[in-house]
Structure 1
Amino acid sequence: MIAETVCSAVSAAGLGIAVVTAYRRRFLAAARIAAYALVPVGLVMTGLVGWLAHTAFSPTAWAGFGLLGAAWLLFAGTRAVERRRAGRAAAGSERTEAVAPGSSAPSLGGSSAASLGAGSRPAKGSAAPRPTGSAAPTDDFSDIEAILKKHGI
């Protein structure tokens, strides 16, 4: 009974605001305000407001909401545990696949003490030999040089 009275008062106030807005020649805004103002009366007439008011003060309804919350927590908790287990299993398989069982120490590419001999050192002016698999620096910049020559730079 109180909820229906409050909804009716809100609708009446909204329709009053719509009339004032229409008086100021803002008809589109007035129509929109009137539409919003009619929603509470429509909810009262359908009986939805009474059902909601009855549900809000019902201990059985609140117990049902509590059970729904508990069920949601159980679903979320089990999903989190599944994700954690799947993450650990994936991390464990990545670790075993990343390391090759018969691999040796990585090659550093430059000259090492074993290849130079026991007491020999490279000369100060000489650079370490380049690996044959990589391109020389002149090859790396050849396309850039071609672009610069094309533009006359």
Structure 2
Amino acid sequence: MIAETVCSAVSAAGLGVAAVTAYRKRFLTAARIAAYALVPLGLVMTGVVGWLADTALSPTAWAGFGVLGVAWALLATTRAVERRRGGTRAERKAARAAGRDAVAPAASAPSLGPATRPAAPPASAPRSTTSGDDFSDIEAILKKHGI
């Protein structure tokens, strides 16, 4: 009963603030405040507030929340341990098999040296369209990356 009275008072106060805001010609803000103010009244009218008040004062409900908390803690702990170990046994076996089937197991590590930029050719230099030039550009790019 007290929870319903408090919610009704909060709604009335919120609607009063909305009326003052509308009087100041801030209609969009007033409509938003009115919407928020009507939520507690709607919760009282649907019976949600009474149900929550009964649940908050029920020792059985609190014991149920405790059981749910223990279940959540167990699930979180087992997932953390599973991640730390690297997954289930089948997942570890699949990971080892995938490690053996690497695409390029003998590939070299990338070069970590300082990057150098080749000088840009002068704008007035004529470009040749022969196939030898195309391959020389590709060779320059490969040399730049250390391949």
Task: Give the structure-2-normalised TM-score.
Answer: 0.62
- The residue that corresponds to 2:2 in the other structure is 2
Which amino acid in 2 is paired with 1:149? P
- The residue that corresponds to 1:135 in the other structure is none
From the superposition, tell whether residues 10 and 151 of structure 1 become closer, same or farther in structure 2 (CA, over 3 Å). Answer: farther
Cα deviation for residue 151 of structure 1 reads 6.8
Residues in 2 aligned to 1:62 and 1:25: alpha-carbon distance in whole angstroms:
47
Residues in 2 aligned to 1:57 and 1:42: alpha-carbon distance in whole angstroms:
22
- The residue that corresponds to 1:144 in the other structure is 118
- The residue that corresponds to 2:71 in the other structure is 71
- The residue that corresponds to 1:110 in the other structure is none
Residues in 2 aligned to 1:23 and 1:86: alpha-carbon distance in whole angstroms:
63
- The residue that corresponds to 1:17 in the other structure is 17
Residues in 1 aligned to 2:80 and 2:20: alpha-carbon distance in whole angstroms:
55
- The residue that corresponds to 1:33 in the other structure is 33
SS, match of residue 62 in structure 1 = helix
What is the percentage of aligned positions where both structures have the same residue? 72
Cα deviation for residue 60 of structure 1 reads 0.6
- The residue that corresponds to 1:84 in the other structure is 84
Residues in 2 aligned to 1:39 and 1:52: alpha-carbon distance in whole angstroms:
15
Cα deviation for residue 56 of structure 1 reads 0.6
SS, match of residue 122 in structure 2 = helix
Cα deviation for residue 70 of structure 1 reads 0.4
Q: Which runs of 5+ in 1 are unaligned?
A: 98-140
RMSD of Structure 2 on Structure 1 (CA): 2.9
Residues in 2 aligned to 1:45 and 1:151: alpha-carbon distance in whole angstroms:
83
Which amino acid in 2 is paired with 1:42? G
Residues in 2 aligned to 1:69 and 1:13: alpha-carbon distance in whole angstroms:
37
From the superposition, tell whether residues 151 and 17 of structure 1 become closer, same or farther in structure 2 (CA, over 3 Å). Answer: farther
SS, match of residue 149 in structure 1 = coil
Which amino acid in 2 is paired with 1:48? V
Q: Which runs of 5+ in 2 are unaligned?
A: 101-115, 126-147
Residues in 2 aligned to 1:75 and 1:22: alpha-carbon distance in whole angstroms:
51
